[in-house]
Amino acid sequence: GAVVSQHPSWVICKSGTSVKIECRSLDFQATTMFWYRQFPKQSLMLMATSNEGSKATYEQGVEKDKFLINHASLTLSTLTVTSAHPEDSSFYICSAPVGGTGPNREQYFGPGTRLTVT
């Protein structure tokens, strides 16, 4: 099946600094990617839809100036957490759909990035 990678797998940063997380589709092209946030023992919450060559679409309540998304190529989307604070500590997961627009379309998920802000 399709493979989605994320880098780094974990990162620790100091409060006030920015952190960039990469999401790559390794063996397919993805014009769309999705970014999720997962709190411990909780559900995955969709943060934004990343669109290649255009602006990302953010879900209600997600600060677009804090979570900058860039989808510069068909295989790479980046999420930058700007001026990170401890409350931004979380597990960030990306996904990319494969299979067109029909029922066979499937989401492939990256392994996630654990962000800890101290």
Partner 1 sequence: AQSVTQPDIHITVSEGASLELRCNYSYGATPYLFWYVQSPGQGLQLLLKYFSGDTLVQGIKGFEAEFKRSQSSFNLRKPSVHWSDAAEYFCAVGARGSYIPTFGRGTSLIVHP
Contacting partner 1 (CB under 8 A), which of 31, 49, 82, 89? Answer: 49
Residue 88, SS3?
Answer: helix
Interaction of residue 21 with partner 1, rule CB under 8 A: no
Residues of this chain, 56-95, that bind partner 1 according to CB under 8 A: 93, 95
**Smallest separation, CB 20 to partner 1 (Å):** 19
Contacting partner 1 (CB under 8 A), which of 18, 42, 83, 118? Answer: 42
Q: In this complex, which beta carbon is closest to partner 1, that of residue 34 or of residue 67?
A: 34
**Minimal CA–CA distance to 97: which of 8, 7, 10, 23?**
23
Which string of b and e fits 33-57 if b means at least 16 CB within 10 Å?
bbbbbeeeeeeeeebbbbebeeebe
Instruction: Please say whether the dihedral angle defined by the alpha carbons of residues 30, 95, 11 and 63, taken in this order, is positive or negative.
Output: positive
CB 35 within 8 Å of CB 94 = yes
Q: In this complex, which beta carbon is closest to partner 1, that of residue 83 or of residue 107?
A: 107
**Contact set with partner 1 (CB under 8 A):** 4, 9, 34, 41-44, 46, 49, 93, 95, 97, 101, 103, 105-112
